[in-house]
Amino acid sequence: MPKHGKIDCFDPTETNWTSYVEKLEYFTTIPADKQKSSFLAVCGSTTFELAKSLVQPDTLADTSFTDILGALKNHYAPEPSPIIQRFKFNSRQHIPGESIATYIAALRVIGEHCEFGPTLNDMIRDRLVCGVNDRAIQRRLLQQSKLDYKTAYDIAIAMESASKNALDLFAGGAITTQVKNLRSVRDPNGLQISTSS
């Protein structure tokens, strides 16, 4: 059999099933008739034994590669309940110290299994408006009569950035205050010197 590279045994303590199968799909440039045997040869003894038990009363030899992967997926990565995922999505609040971008990324991860379909961006927009912990950003978003996802995202990111920049500038305010407190005086020779008050 020609060598097609190497794929590690599946270890549920190191990766999740979905990522492993995605990696396997990149690995399987192997001809379709050889994919099942190649996978079973490299998946590791724990996964091999589990696959055998999951397809019973059939044997691995009598079960298609697609059905074997499906049985393992149902075992390792069952589809999460959309209701539970929607509950998590609608309960997710913006955590103090968390950036807006990180908050929205977390909403996208949760939203993946909510079955929102093409309304996902609208749902994220609504969650951003309701869940953001910065009241100034929230007020600004609520002032918009027509607010789409992109506008909400742009406003929130811009206001967050402006707030951080203002804090950085105010931190430099002590230097400005010290400069303002300098006063000019003349020494006995008539030269102007500055002293702080």
Among residues 55, 76, 97, the one where a domain terminates is 76
Least confident of 29-33, 78-82, 100-104, 159-163: 29-33
Residue 154's Cβ-side half-sphere holds a number of Cα atoms within 13 Å equal to 6
Instruction: Return mean pLDDT, the chain.
Output: 84
- Are 89 and 110 spatial neighbours (Cβ–Cβ below 8 Å)? yes
Domain annotation covers residue 49? yes
- What number is the average pLDDT over the span 81-108? 96
C-alpha 53/C-alpha 177 separation (Å) is 75
Q: Is the pLDDT of residue 152 over 90?
A: yes
Contacting residues for 147 by C-beta, under 8 A, at least 6 apart: 125, 129, 141
Q: Is residue 43 part of a domain?
A: yes
Q: How many CB atoms lie within 10 A of CB 39?
A: 23
Residue predicted with more confidence, 29 or 106: 106
Distance CA 72, CA 10 (A): 11
184 has pLDDT over 60: no
Q: List, for residues 121-140, the tens digit of each pLDDT value.
A: 999 999 999 999 999 999 99
Give me the number of domains the chain comprises: 2
Q: Can you tell me whether residue 149 is helix, strand or coil?
A: helix
Tokens 């045997």 belong to 37
Helix, strand, coil % in the chain, rounded to nearest 5:
60, 5, 35
**Higher confidence at residue 157 or residue 41?**
157
- The range of the structural domain enclosing residue 21 comes to 17-76
d(C-alpha 36, C-alpha 62), whole Å = 11
Whether residues 50 and 102 share a domain: the answer is no
How far is residue 152's CA from residue 125's CA, in Å, rounded to a whole number? 6
**Three-point CA angle 11, 15, 20, nearest 5°:** 85
DSSP code at position 80:
P
Do residues 117 and 103 share a domain? yes
Residues 87 and 164 grouped into a single domain:
yes
pLDDT of res. 10: 78
Both tokens of 25, joined, read 């799909």
6-34: per-residue pLDDT in tens?
Answer: 677 778 888 888 877 777 776 656 777 78
In this structure, the answer to whether residues 65 and 125 fall within a common structural domain is: no
Claim to verify: residue 23 and residue 57 sit in the same structural domain: yes
Distance between CA 49 and CA 63 in Å, rounded? 14
